[in-house]
Chains A and B, each alone.
Chain A
Amino acid sequence: MNRVVITGFGVYSCIGKNTDEVTKSLYDGVSGIGLDKKRKEYGYRSGLTGMVDRPDLKKQLKRRQRIGLGEQGEYAYMATLEALLHARIDLDFLDNNEVGILYGNDSCAKAVIEANDVVREKRDTAMVGSGSIFQSMNSTVTMNLSTIFKLKGINFTISGACASGSHSIGMGYLLIKQGLQKQVICGGAQEVNFYAMGSFDAIGAFSTREMEPQLASRPFDRDRDGLVPSGGAATVILESLESAKKRGAKIYGEVIGYGFSSNGGHISKPDVDGPVRSLSMALEQSNIQASEVDYINAHATSTPLGDQNEARAIHEVFGSKPFVTSTKSMTGHECWMAGASEIVYSLIMMKNSFVAPNINLENPDEDSRKLNIPTKPKETEINAFLSNSFGFGGTNSSLVIRKYYP
């Protein structure tokens, strides 16, 4: 079995457009949340969202490369470009090696709705143009990035709700571990627009603290009232240790465990048993003790029940020792992207020896009180961390990553 290491990462999010900006935001506890008035006009119960600017790719990509790229694809391109630069992998290398891509994405609402608006108005599908189909399919990110970066390895999209990004890293890890791939680009992307989240808003899952957008995402706090949707993209470059050594690549961490489970219960209501099984599986596989995990990046989205159940699950397995934070307190819930971005946020913390604060935690509740949740940045060595991601349908994913030791 191969050891699997991380040789590059990149991110484009509401708290920064690259890892340098994001590092500063994480340390300073900066919120990327705002109020989108368009959502209110459109009929949303809550107009709160992560505020993400779209990149201008006119100078970087040719027309044909650009027009099939949806909003989430643009974010994924930016994050992947940074990750590849970081990993010192250039187009020549990509062209001459079987590098794969597995990316999490679970919606293409904007592209689908806009195309259908054109057809309804013109009564002619030909008026949609050629780019729409490549923006409208769930595999939009992998189909576009694989052609832009000339990828020749595994190539598909993973849709696992809000655990999509995490599962993509888990699946890349398994493929490399088994020797089927040497390098896989893994990540998650999430569109941020008023078409994408209407049906999510419909079930009353979002915070309505609209008067104080930056205080709205408050995981583990007693007064949390729902999640804040957000998005962008994050990419990690997974590589076999052998390949990384051969390339002389810098190693930022080693993936040592991937746990997964399904609750087998309610479609949206989280439980405790499913997450416990997922994170226990990841931990067991990693061959380290619970006491060796220094930091847990919680899934905690700021919903009353979800945070409570996760706090119980974490406490059951890890007790009160490790630092636990939810970076969603700053970013909001990056949904399909979250499982990948939270690995990037945690890698940034591990590299720079700090734990980012869980902002907006003013009054812990009965369950979160039992956990070690810092509300200010904490300078500390992180040797190993665990990141949880859970999604609708009861899909759970947990990843354990440790500093690389030869």
Chain B
Amino acid sequence: MKRSEIIEKVNSFLIEEFEAELEGVSFEANFHEALELDSLDYVDLVVLVEHTFGFKMKGEEFKSIHSFNDFYDFINSSIQVHQNV
């Protein structure tokens, strides 16, 4: 999957399911702050990632994600890992 497709899919579920307003939000913006995530939201993000990309991420993996770019990269690398398994 191309990175642009990943960005499109992630943004789509953030807008539809999280009702996020992403207009004007840069890829470098803080992922957690821009989305005003609380502890319960991560539980739902794990479900959305599984539904959309077919792999289960762990809650603690969010600790290494700071920006939107980090999140897209994480999805990208995870897809590749799962494809290679």
Contact = CB atoms under 8 A, between A and B. Distances in A.
A135 B54 CA distance: 26
Interface residues of B, number: 12
B47 A64 contact: no
B22 interface: no
Interface stretch (A83-91, A125-133, A177-185, A266-274): A125-133
Contacts of B38: 64
Interface in A108-140: 124, 126-131
B40 A126 contact: no
B interface secondary structure, majority:
helix
A63 interface: yes
A129 B44 contact: yes
Contact of B19 (A62, A129, A131): A62
Contact of A129 (B18, B47, B56): B47
Which of A62, A63, A64, A130 lies at the interface centre, i.e. has the most chain B CB atoms within 10 A of its CB? A130
B19 A126 contact: no
A126 B40 CA distance: 11
B41 interface: yes
A323 B26 CA distance: 69
B18 A63 contact: yes
Contacts of A127: 46-47, 50, 56
Contacts of B56: 124, 126-127
Contacts of A64: 38, 40-41
Contact of B41 (A124, A126, A130): A130
Nearest to A118: B47
Nearest to B39: A130
A136 to B, nearest CB: 14
B29 to A, nearest CB: 20
A136 B19 CA distance: 24
Contacts of B19: 62-63
A120 to B, nearest CB: 16
B34 interface: no
Nearest to B42: A130
A127 B43 CA distance: 8
B61 to A, nearest CB: 12
B50 A130 contact: no
A130 B43 CA distance: 6
A391 to B, nearest CB: 34
B35 to A, nearest CB: 11
Contacts of A124: 56
B20 to A, nearest CB: 9
Contacts of A67: 44
Nearest to B43: A130
8 contacts: A64-B38, A64-B40, A67-B44, A124-B56, A126-B46, A127-B50, A127-B56, A131-B44
Given A63-B17, A126-B43, A127-B46, 9 more contacts: A63-B18, A64-B38, A64-B40, A126-B47, A127-B56, A129-B43, A129-B44, A129-B47, A131-B44
Interface of A: 62-64, 67, 124, 126-131
The 9 closest A-B pairs by CB, nearest first: A130-B40, A130-B43, A129-B47, A63-B19, A130-B44, A129-B44, A126-B46, A127-B47, A129-B43
